[in-house]
Amino acid sequence: MDKGSKQKTITADDMELLTQTQACNPILYDRVMGLLNMVHDSRSRTVDDVEFQVIDKLRDLGKDLLTTWAKKQVEIETAQALEQHSELKRSKKKN
């Protein structure tokens, strides 16, 4: 970190978000932690290797983030539709 930049304090909200993510979406949590762990990885690698690994990890993280966000939006919109139209019934899959 640069001498001129201030270090951000980890808040209780930050920790709660990490804890919730670990519990609700362990794959997303693992991807974020994998990126963070790259900073502390002492293995000798070329810049190109690290760059490609970061790009791959960010691509996977982006896919997971968008998928998680979309699923949450569907849940929210479904709940709103059910509230607005009480005659709608939630259907369940038959086994």
Per residue, the 3-state secondary structure of the chain, as one string, reads: CCCCCCCCCCCHHHHHHHHHHHHHCHHHHHHHHHHHHHHCCCCCCCHHHHHHHHHHHHHHHHHHHHHHHHHHHHHHHHHHHHHHCCCCCCCCCCC
Q: Which comes out higher in pLDDT, residue 83 or 74? A: 74
Q: What is the pLDDT of residues 18-77, one digit of tens each?
A: 999 999 999 999 999 999 898 888 788 888 998 999 999 999 999 999 999 999 999 999
Length of the chain: 95
What is the structure's pLDDT at 6? 79
What pLDDT is attached to residue 34? 92
Tell me the C-alpha distance between 78 and 26, whole Å: 24
The domain limits of the chain are 16-84
Distances (CA, A) of 75 to 62, 82, 83, 86: 20, 11, 12, 16
pTM exceeding 0.75: no
pLDDT at 16: 95
pLDDT score, position 89: 66
